Amino acid sequence: DFEINQSRWNQQGSREKRTEGKDRAEGHPGSKAEGTLREIGSGGGAMAFPLSVDDFKKFVLLNINNRLGHDVRAKVLPVLEGYGSYEGLCEKLKTNIHSGINPDEVAQRQEHYGRNYIEQKPLTPFWKFCWDALQDPTLIFLSCASVVSIIIGTVFEPIECLGWLDGLAIMVAVIVVVLVGAIQESSKEKQFRALTDKASDDLVNVIRAGTQKQVSNRDVVVGDVLVLSTGDIITADGLVFERNTLKIFEGALTGESHAISKGPFEFKEKGHFEVPPDIDLQQMNVLPEGTPEERRAYYEPTPDKTPLVFKGTEVQDGEGKMLVIAVGNNTYEQILLGDKEDDEDDEGSGRSILQVKLDSMTMLITKVGAFFGIGIVIILFIRFGILFANTECCKEEWNNAVHNSQWIGFIITGITIFVVAVPEGLPLAVTIALAFSVRKMMTDQNMVKTSSACETMGSATTICSDKTGTLTTSMMTVMQSWVAGSKCEPKDVAGKYSDEVKSSISHAMTINTSEKTDIVAKTNKKIVDGKEVEEPVNDPNTGKYMIAYSGNATECAMIKFVNQLNGFDGNPGDASMPYKKIRNNFPESAEGRAAITFSSKRKRMSTLVPWTAGGFRLFTKGASEMVMSLCTTYLDSDGSTKPLDDATRKSLEDDVINEFASQGLRTISVAYRQFEASPAAEDGSLPEATETELVLACIVGIEDPLRPEVPDSVQTCRNAGIVVRMVTGDNLATAKAISRKAGILDPAKEASGDELAMTGEQFRTRVLSDQNSETPERCIIQSEMDAIWPKLRVLARSTPTDKLVLVTGIQKSRLVVDGYTRQVVAVTGDGTNDAPALKQADVGFAMYINGTQVAQQAADIVILDDNFQSIVAAVKWGRCVYDNICKFLQFQLTVNITACTIAVVGAAVLTESPLKVIQLLWVNLIMDSFASLALATDDPNRVPGLKEQLLNRKPYPRTQALLSKIMVRNMFAHALYQLLVLFILIFCIGDVCEAGATINECGGVPYWRAPIDVGIRSGRPADYDLINLPADVKCIDAYKQDDPSTYWYVRDMPLDASGDTFEGAIPIRQRTYCEEQHGCGERSIHMTIVFNSFVLMQIFNEINTRKLHGEMNQFAGALYNDWFIRVMVGTLASQVVLVQVPGINTAFGCSGLDWAQWLVCVAIGASELLVHYLCALLPYEWIPLGSWAGSMDDATLDETAEEIGSAVPPPCFLWLMADLSFQLFLWGEDGRGLTVSTEKTGLRWQPRRRAQATLPGTWRCLACRSRCATRCHQARGCGHIALSAPGRSERQV
């Protein structure tokens, strides 16, 4: 019995109890099909709720997607009326707006609609991180290889040869990688938990059983009536439909930068709003088939009041009641966040494309190593057999004591070659590079949650950014002003005008605002000793507290301007702020105070107060044209008044109001009038007639300002080949103005059609096949999307899902733009509305200070200072991580080529590798631990010029090979040089002679003198040097009875004291002649020089591999990497110790060298620096690159990206039935369950709650052709969702 969530909207929803075999009838909210009662039993009674969680979710979505007035009338109101309007909703929820619910019903409502509490996921145990890290294919392979190596080295090799040490080293490397990765992931999780641990148990006011009481926000249930007041953070979704004064700030959710009035839908009256130009109406998709006149008549702006209220938003002003319709996981905030746990549990979601490429390259290298390892073993066995066939020396007959160790040695040689080929250091290098960058990015204000996001950001080609709080400060601010007859920057007003002018403006702005409007210090909630405390947040730039607004954002901008007028420079919230002093002198409770409240029809508000100099003064503020039309004079710079004649009015309209508006500013006029006596009526009301003959004090232009760093950051992104796109819920005109200031939208390119701004409504209409789909990102018309997104720079009036659709459409596009066939999309945002797009994006950035917890949980990286410049820093680090990994790759593959060739040639020619297993182990340690640490830790913040180099080049295409042509040239050129030098050292020095006083000296005249005479004895294997020995020295023949030369014949040889004698033949070849200790050999200066030169060449080549792009100066920036210097010095010192120190050099098969020999080795190693300059002169354009170099074609990349990003459960489960047919359950890509049945006409696929069918015959997967009958049900699916049946057409789910 499977219950399948039909879409994202009900993945989080509470599961409803249904009887077997019955499905809920489908229909639109409010239809008769939705009236089916669901019986919920609890305790002693049962309640019937006609409306389900899904119904409310659909209603919320309908409101979100239709915000303009004409859309509300056409689409939202009919559904609301179908519910019976607000009264019908209360009836269906068994509640009353005045008396609330019965307290006894809480448990039943929680059972049906869910609890208003989201359990925090427990911290992941450390062993789970270790286990996850061990799932890396390379680590799994290395673990197996180490176990095999340890077993063979322990069982079959003499203990003194230390054959087990190589396998142990590999195991240690695996353990180090696993622990480093696990510690990194664990610390990140703890950091993020501490950062976002804001869970609180606040008390809220509810009405239950007719009584107002305080309950825990966790006990709020659907049907409750909440009592809201200024400053409240709303804890559930709900509806407001009684008369109230509520104003809710929803910027984090919708992108709106001003508070929204709440209540029953209240539409703007015709004639009292400005209709946009027809071109904008077309962009808004208003009657696309109608005439311009019909569009103008049909258009209505956003209603003045809307009833829907969301969890997580804030009451900026007023009081009122709210009917709760969704709690906990079913709120819109949590629905936007989605099922994060499923994403985290997806085993492939943490690996980036780079890591997948590295995995593929590792497997290729491993296969090549296995090929050569097996090949050399076969060659050695063939030669072994030929020697027996020719009865060569010691191969006349099989001797277990001799020949068993030899053939085991062949296998060990093959394994050694294989182990040398395997890039053990690659996983460690990736882990170190990511761990280093994650730690360093914290200093650049980037808290990384997903390590792979670091590297992915280096390939980002587009950034889709929210406006409010990301590109802007999320605080309305006075940006332009007209004061006393002239325009002036707000920062200059304080020093330009007299105290009398500043005092008049300060009083006019402060007194005519609500005392609930306040400027405070921004705080963060933290849990300290089990108690919740609030701590002020410091601004890292100024050291003072960060500003936060409380109340109406526009009024906050006004009182902030008052502080600026009076030169205030203290902490926000301080009692000495100028506007607070004015409020203390003119309290709202003062006798004689009267007011005319703001209304959308009047577009202004006024306040009358007793004036300190006598009489009364009226202050008025509102829409510029409306207030200015009531003014007859204006305030001059000396404090006097001048007549406001027609010429001045015309000048103000053209040069001030219209100019401010063209910049996207909201213009507000502030005026006042002096009365000798109070004009208020006896009942305290103030007649509108008093708002005449006003003195115009100032005009201000207000907006949510652009962050100061944004223009430079956007330009840096352009230089780096990254396109920034703005997606906002604000209106089109404001969005365009902000984007032009930020440099996102170029006016010239906009005019030519190369860049585009449009509204969400127009965007949805063009790119979606079904606008009402609960999963619109699955309904994208890709051809339409491809026609829009390359030019799109601004998407205004967008819904939360518009950004998700945009991100998904860009990711799916295969349009070639600027040379890229696949876009890598980063998304920035701070609001709850950004969560779906943050999760869908390749990299999601959330703001910390002004960001919601929902956005932070959905993101990959949290920007700690809310600075757009930090996103550029993430790009810088992403590209640096990519380069650092490539540096190590260039180094390691060079060493691998050299070591493998030496081992293969040595085994084939010399019968064993010139480098012993323990020496190859040391080389591997250099490659693994030290080199990865040295090359993966370059810091772009320290190395001069590196930051600019990283940010002035285009992103790496995701299909691009890991190995560039320059890297391939460098690798093979250096490897060939090293092989040439090593072969000369192996074959051209070392005389063949009898051992003298020591094993490294000749005891007489050499049998063969080397071409390069350095006075040392050969350290090559004796089997190879036999070819240079005289015939009588090469071998002592085995005993043959008919060959007197193989034995001595003796007579009367005493055996003991008894007098017994022996007469007979005694073989010249002793019984132990052919026995040898295979695999150890003796320590020789010759092979020590070979080993030492090889290691020193790698150490000096480490300097060369720091450069990837053909730079000549390989030393540039090296001294700025402390880890590189430490590794270089430490590696050299370690090499000296293991060659020179007795005991240690014995274990490593080395013999101490004198100073002259060391000088030669160092000179050979340093010659690598000269080779670097010669390499730079070699051509590289001709080098072909393919999959072997780590490249991916588009098809492979798409498949890989799908596997990485997919969070869809396994596609099919099959159970073998008694009648040998199958019961099949499919989970489609859209998350829906599917009923599959077979009929004579073919296949029938239907979305159902329970998916089951009997499928006769043999079914196969279309993708891999595996038999479902024998494989899929055992392996929990083969990873594909396409099935075929014999004799039937193929259908893909």
- Give the residue numbers marked as catalytic: 466
Task: Round to whole Å and give the CA distance between 195 and 448.
Answer: 12
Measured in whole angstroms, the distance separating CA 1213 from the mean position of its chain's CA atoms is 32
CA atoms of 673 and 678, how far apart (whole Å): 12
Please give the single-letter amino acid code of residue 1145: N
857 vs 196: CA distance, rounded Å: 8
CA triple 867-873-878, angle to 5 deg: 140
Strand partners, 526: 533
C-alpha distances out from residue 1059 to 167, 1055, 1056, 1065, Å: 58, 7, 6, 19
Q: Residue 588 gets which letter from DSSP?
A: T
**1064 CB neighbour count, 10 Å cutoff:** 10
Distance of CA 928 to the CA centre of its chain: 27
What's 817's DSSP letter?
B
Task: Tell me which residue has tokens 């040439």.
Answer: 980
CA 452 to CA 860: how far, in whole Å? 9
1272 in Cβ contact with 1280 (< 8 Å): no
Query: Long-range contacts for 520-524 (Cβ within 8 Å, ≥24 apart)?
Result: 520/547, 520/548, 520/549, 520/550, 520/572, 520/573, 521/545, 521/546, 521/547, 521/548, 521/571, 521/572, 521/573, 522/546, 522/547, 522/548, 522/572, 522/849, 523/548, 524/198
Burial class (CB in 10 A: 0-12, 13-18, 19+), 677: exposed
The residues pairing with 642 across neighbouring beta strands, listed in sequence order, are: 634
Report how far Cα 1236 is from the mean position of its chain's Cα atoms.
Answer: 38
| SS3 state of residue 876 | helix
Between CA 974 and CA 1284 the distance in angstroms is: 53
Specify the DSSP element, H or E, that contains 1211. Answer: none
Residue 852: φ, ψ to 5°:
-85, 160
Spacing of C-alpha 880 from chain mean position? 16
212 pairs with which residues across the strands? Answer: 207
The enclosing H or E element of 670 equals: strand 666-675
**Main-chain phi, psi angles of 319, to 5 degrees:** -140, 155
Q: CA distances (Å), 1177 to each of 47, 969, 1169, in order?
A: 85, 10, 14
CA distance 1265 to 1280: 10
Distance CA 125, CA 133 (A): 13
Residue 393, by phi and psi: left (phi above 0), alpha (psi -120 to 50) or beta?
beta
CA distances from 884 to 415, 426, 514, 578, 1171 (A): 30, 12, 57, 54, 22
Whole-angstrom CA distances from 848 to 15, 119, 713, 830 are: 34, 22, 19, 8
Token pair belonging to 1071: 């019984």
User: In angstroms, what CA-CA distances link 592 with 3, 269, 516, 682?
Assistant: 66, 34, 20, 11
3-class state of residue 823 by DSSP: coil
Q: What's the CA gap between 1136 and 1139, in Å, rounded?
A: 5
